Amino acid sequence: MGIHHLGIAVTDLEAAAQQYALLLGTTIDHGHDSEELGTRALAIRTPAGPMIELVAPYAEDTPVGRFIAKRGEGMHHVAYEVADIDAECARLLAAGVEMIDEAPRAGLFGLQVAFIHPDALRGVLLEIVQPGGHQYG
């Protein structure tokens, strides 16, 4: 498995996507809007390595909106791909890891996701993902 994508919180999704595509010499792969999650996202292909997921909030009262209000734009999360997200959540909970999501839920781009609380990883928000449906790349 390994790093699936890097999530970056932005306020202007289109401007950020153009900037990343230009600076990295890559292309914008595809987008996904979720009113339920309060997020708009674009996936950026990188020449080598994980995708970059740019995420912008619909409003300040969403998780990404609150993140930007508190910390500003920038690195939001690291996503790690697993083969069996149910088993991984159970393993982490049994080990006493503080989870934001104790069970997998539907995420962007057809992924099943669960977030590990940043306090469990020295301030890093880690998302575990299991692809299903539309995938990056």
pLDDT at 137: 45
Residue (of 107, 104, 67) closest to 87 by Cα position: 104
Residue (of 137, 33, 22, 129) closest to 81 by Cα position: 129
The domain ranges of the chain are 2-130
Distance (Å, whole) CA 117 – CA 82 = 17
pLDDT at 80: 97
Between residues 121 and 132, the one the model is more confident about: 121
Residue (of 95, 79, 87) closest to 131 by Cα position: 79
As a CATH number, domain 2-130 is: 3.10.180.10
Q: Distances from the Cα of 2 to the Cαs of 33, 83, 88, 95, 105, in angstroms?
A: 25, 10, 14, 21, 20
The overall longest dimension of the chain from CA atoms, in Å, is 44
Residue 136 pLDDT level (bands cut at 50, 70, 90) = very low
Model pLDDT for residues 52-95, shown as the tens digit of each residue: 999 999 999 999 999 999 999 999 999 999 999 999 999 999 99
Return mean pLDDT, the chain: 91
Distance (Å, whole) CA 47 – CA 101 = 32
What is the strand order of the sheet 39-44 is part of? 28-34, 39-44, 51-57, 2-9, 74-81, 126-130, 112-116, 105-106
